[in-house]
Amino acid sequence: MTLRRVTVLGATGSIGTSTLDVLGRHPERYRVHALTAHRSREPLLAQCRRHRPAVAVLDAEEDAAWLRGQLAEAGLATEVRAGREALVEVAEAREVDAVMAAIVGAAGLLPTLAAVKAGKRVLLANKEALVMSGALFMDAVTRHGATLLPIDSEHNAIYQCLPVEHRGGLGRHGVTQLLLTASGGPFRGWSRDALGRVTPDQACDHPNWSMGRKISVDSATLMNKGLELIEACWLFDARPDQVQVVVHPQSVIHSMAAYSDGSVIAQLGNPDMRTPIAYGLAWPERIDAGVEALDLFRVARLDFEPADEAAFPCLRLAREAMAAGGTAPAVLNAANEVAVEAFLAGRLGFTEIDELVARVRDESPVAPAADLETILEADVLARRSAHAWLARQ
């Protein structure tokens, strides 16, 4: 059995900790090469003690210096680095076989793209990388021979429901539609007026999944599902009209693919991210993920309903951004990141999140996403516009 070395980008987040849980169950298969975190130095220290990586990366040098001292006291030889260049280096390192890309937001784009260009197996949990630079990203996957495995539960489910070779347009493979399931979040069925009184703690209290605060808010606004729609179009070579969002409160069916012969193939499982993580790590094999087997008798029923885009306009905004193309998805993502940060800080109301995103979208010209510099510039300008809108409120 070949030993694979893994870098985990965003190790202290929910996806990162779940990844380390799966890796720890299979020490004969995997070794941790590098762990990275933004500012969570204490959790990263605990992970270094447990998994003994060759390298650890933090964003700020002051945090890296603290971690260096703590690891030296513990007698551990982990090298500690700081900054964006270090993130790229551990993503593309020659020793690394697989990279878990789990940094939340636009910050994950450069190291994830570096892993792709180095021809790694990339476990993509950072949807923003594809949202911002879909065409460039997928072209790099093909050009550099990287293996791209989606880790979002919905995209991982679709990946399992499609033929191994699914590029070239869905119609070539008899696929008529991708059915992207959504739990509906904590506010399913709420009116627009009621949503105006939502607090950050309420928005982060997801009924089915344990996630970080930013992605929990995105799930509550349905922006997460909008970003997933854009991601699905790039991953599976689909048009926006070929992706339908289906609200499924039980979160047991993770997504489906409909075929021209009338078949609908679905992937089911308990809502636990260790399942898609284990699938991505071991593909095309299957390994134990530590996840309880699905008990259909306990589930008993499966419900479905359409998404309420009147109450939750973020889904429509994302679909429109994908249809507009170019830098529009990058602008959408940047404005949303600023809006969510402001909401969590108590500076913005819940229903003002989509209002801010729409305003920034309307103020931002769409340019062809011809190169990474253009995409990153659109991201910066959209954030500047979003902050200016907040300052006027």
Q: pLDDT tens-digit profile of 308-344?
A: 999 999 999 999 999 999 999 999 999 999 999 999 9
**Residues 182, 229: Cα–Cα separation, whole Å:** 11
List the domain boundaries for the chain. Answer: 4-151, 152-309, 325-393
Q: pLDDT tens-digit profile of 377-387?
A: 999 999 999 99
Nearest to 103 by CA among 66, 132, 70: 132
Strands (E), 128-237: 147-150, 175-182
Q: Residues annotated in the binding site, as ranges?
A: 12-15, 39, 126-128, 152-154, 183, 206, 212, 219, 224-225, 228
Q: Residues annotated in the binding site for Mn(2+), as ranges?
A: 152, 154, 228
Q: Are 206 and 219 in contact (CB under 8 A)?
A: yes
In words, the CATH class of domain 325-393 is mainly alpha
Structure pTM? Answer: 0.91
Q: Residues annotated in the binding site for NADPH, as ranges?
A: 12-15, 39, 126, 128, 212
Specify the DSSP element, H or E, that contains 81. strand 79-82
**Residues 198, 120: Cα–Cα separation, whole Å:** 42
Strands (E), 232-279: 243-247, 253-259, 264-268
**Residues 314, 321: Cα–Cα separation, whole Å:** 10
For 4-151, CATH number?
3.40.50.720
Q: Residues annotated in the binding site for 1-deoxy-D-xylulose 5-phosphate, as ranges?
A: 127, 153-154, 183, 206, 219, 224-225, 228
Question: pLDDT in tens for each of the 393 residues of the chain?
Answer: 789 999 999 999 999 999 999 999 999 999 999 999 999 999 999 999 999 999 999 999 999 999 999 999 999 999 999 999 999 999 999 999 999 999 987 788 899 999 999 999 999 998 888 998 999 999 999 999 999 999 999 999 999 999 887 777 888 889 999 999 999 889 999 999 999 999 999 999 877 666 778 889 999 999 999 999 999 999 999 999 999 999 999 999 999 999 999 999 999 999 999 999 999 999 999 999 999 999 999 999 999 999 999 999 999 999 999 999 999 999 999 999 999 999 999 999 999 999 999 999 999 999 999 899 999 999 999 999 999 999 987
Specify the DSSP element, H or E, that contains 374. helix 372-392
Q: Are 310 and 291 in contact (CB under 8 A)?
A: no
Domains 4-151 and 325-393 share a fold: no
Q: Residues 324-361, buried b or exposed e (16+ Cβ, 10 A)?
A: eebbbbbbbbbbbbbbbbbbbeeebbbbbbbebbbbbb
Q: Say which residues have a Cβ less than 8 Å from residue 310's Cβ, sequence separation at least 6.
A: 192
